[in-house]
Amino acid sequence: MKLISHRGNLNGPDKNFENNPLKINLALEKGYDCEVDLWAVEREDGKVNFFLGHDSPEYLIQEDWLSVRKTQLWIHCKNMFALSMLSASKHNFNFFWHNIDDYTVTSRGYIWVYPGRPVPRNGILVLPEKHYHDLKDLNKSRVYGVCSDFVGEMH
């Protein structure tokens, strides 16, 4: 089963450092995949800047930063331009867009499931800590992966 760090968190939410590239690198180095929030912003010269950040573009990154980590990243496109840029990219990123949908399908065919909704076998259980009292009691064999702020406690 795939363990996915939610925005780089390992042992609980950390609003001050979520989506920080250094924190995401740490989660990846520990062997976890990572869900990140991506924004794309077109500059006046027509080039594109990519940013990580939940509510707004916060951490400037390069497309190469994403490309090098693409096998471990689950990229939540936060604006339409990010979705458009990744869908046209040659890098085969694993990305998706959703707001409050019960289910969305990632570009690689996984079902990303809104917290609290039933999860199919090829689905990703998102933020189980919101609905389960003991994360160690989860039947993780029934899902493809779990995305949590507490992946460091889910061995």
State both tokens at 154: 């889910």
78 by DSSP, 3-state: which? coil
The three-state secondary structure class of 128 is helix
Rounded Cα gap, residues 9 and 146, in angstroms: 13
Report d(CA 70, CA 90) in Å as an integer. 12
Domain ranges of the chain: 2-153
pLDDT value, residue 136: 56
As a whole number of Å, the CA-based R_g of the chain is 15
pLDDT at position 43: 95
pLDDT in tens, 94-106: 999 998 899 999 9
CA separation for the pair 74, 120 (Å, rounded): 18
pLDDT at residue number 154: 84
The residues, ordered by sequence, that sit 6+ positions from 68 with a Cβ below 8 Å of its Cβ are none
Segment 62-92, tens digit of pLDDT: 999 999 999 999 999 999 999 999 999 999 9
What's the pLDDT tens digit per position in 27-66?
Answer: 999 999 999 999 999 999 999 999 999 999 999 999 999 9
Cα distances (Å, whole numbers) of residue 117 to 14, 102, 108, 137: 24, 7, 21, 17
The DSSP H or E segment spanning 51 is strand 48-52
